[in-house]
Amino acid sequence: MSLQGKVALVTGAAQGLGKGFAEILLKNGAKVALLDINEAVGKDLKSAFDKEYGPDSTVFLKCDVKSDDQFKEAFEAAIKKFHKIDIVCNNAGIVDEKDWERALATNLGGVIRGTYLALSYMKKQNGGHGGVIINVASMAGILPLLTAPIYTATKHGVLGFSRAISDLSRVCNFGVRINTLCPSFAETAILSSMYSADTVKDIPSLQEMNRKIINTVGILDVSVVAEAFLQLATDESKNGSALMVTKKHTGDIPFPKVSEDLANLSSMLPL
């Protein structure tokens, strides 16, 4: 799928992976709605992108993905600006092992909320033209990270939800591909927070364990993760894929698909 003329919406777009995803979309000809809770950093990024890609290529929209109203308003503003949405990347995430409800609402709730909003605008049954949703999980969604159990739980949830909703989209013929990106540690603000005492709730000795784990796994450059994201966005054969990205390997995680018997039931569904 060519990205020329496509419209993307990216959450957590002001910095880190979200910034990298937005930039690679712009480089390939897409227009991007930049959603982030950090208004100052988001507006600075918008100004930088204006110089490189032109002011009509992006729009910045302040949005807290924990808020139904803000998220819906951001989608509506993006469509008002660009008249459509073809790609949605649910990327916004945090590490907060002390306030687990905040972490859950952001990392998992934001992905669920963003996916259902995207489907409401994109699926064929609602008059949409299809597209692709990419949900950002983590290697911690595949292998548990003992120093961040709450973060691990949220990312396992992202992967499980995305796999289920991708099967639903396929069986119900929504016309929307749904994929999951599972990178290991990348050079972002989230990585920095892994070293914080707040991350390892009341167990300071785990800070050293964090360092050992990160040093063993290695740290990805954001551009490497962005290339993997681009693969999920453009390769139309990838539908229901979960792509793991590490320093040594990038590849699909093999998961069983919904059975053919169940898929054949799609003709019986009231679509």
pLDDT value of residue 92: 97
Q: 196 pLDDT band (50/70/90 cuts)?
A: low
Domain extent listing, the chain: 7-254
Say what the pLDDT of residue 161 is.
Answer: 98
Mean pLDDT, rounded, for 194-212: 66
CATH superfamily of 7-254: NAD(P)-binding Rossmann-like Domain (3.40.50.720)
For residue 194, the model assigns a pLDDT of 64
Residue 90 main-chain phi, psi, to 5 deg: -90, 95
Q: What is the mean pLDDT of the chain?
A: 89
Look at residue 1 and tell me whether its pLDDT is greater than 50: yes
116, 121, 151, 195: the active-site residue: 151
pLDDT at position 62, please?
Answer: 98
For 222-255, write each residue's pLDDT tens digit: 999 999 999 999 999 999 999 999 887 777 877 6
Neighbours of 255 (CB within 10 A): 13
Closest CA to 128 of 253, 7, 257, 250: 7
Q: How confident is the model at residue 266 (pLDDT cuts 50, 70, 90)?
A: very low
Q: Are 35 and 61 in contact (CB under 8 A)?
A: yes
Catalytic residue at 151? yes
Residues 122-151 pLDDT 10s: 999 999 999 999 999 999 999 898 888 999
- What burial class does residue 51 get, using C-beta atoms within 10 Å of its C-beta: 0-12 exposed, 13-18 middle, 19+ buried? exposed
